[in-house]
Structure 1
């Protein structure tokens, strides 16, 4: 699943992302596309123990791949 958060003002991208993660099962992955690096989201993902990787995109946005771990 990919969630495109471009054009949204904080905290909408983070809220949409966490809501989607809450509905997922352990081991499932999600990709999000944000206008900026989601620094506060990284903190939340780390606290929850989720794996994540950020790739800068050519248009200046960032694609973050998140894998839900635990439950």
Structure 2
């Protein structure tokens, strides 16, 4: 099941903290969709180390969407991890 959070109005480090807290509470089989205003580059190595994959979409200036899912699960909804998310 998809969980959605919007961290676009938060100031650092709150977006990172909220993303990590939400991931810690995900039920098996769930994935996370994050709405952000910037590309959270420091998050990606953390996700890899924690066993997650992700896809980042730049929808418009200041509008980023990141889908994050466990690496042992198929990509949700047709998402395909690209680049750093593999």
With the shorter chain as reference, the TM-score category is 0.7 to 0.9
What TM-score do the two structures reach when normalised by structure 1? 0.86
Provide the C-alpha distance between the structure 2 equivalents of 1:26 and 1:14, rounded to a whole number of angstroms.
21
RMSD: 1.5
Uncovered stretches (5+) of structure 2, i.e. residues with no partner: 73-86
Deviations 1:24-55 (A, max 9, x none): 13431110011110011111101112010000
User: TM-score, normalised to structure 2's length?
Assistant: 0.73
Aligned residue pairs: how many? 70
Give the structure with higher Rg (CA).
Answer: 2
Unmatched 5+ stretches in structure 1: none
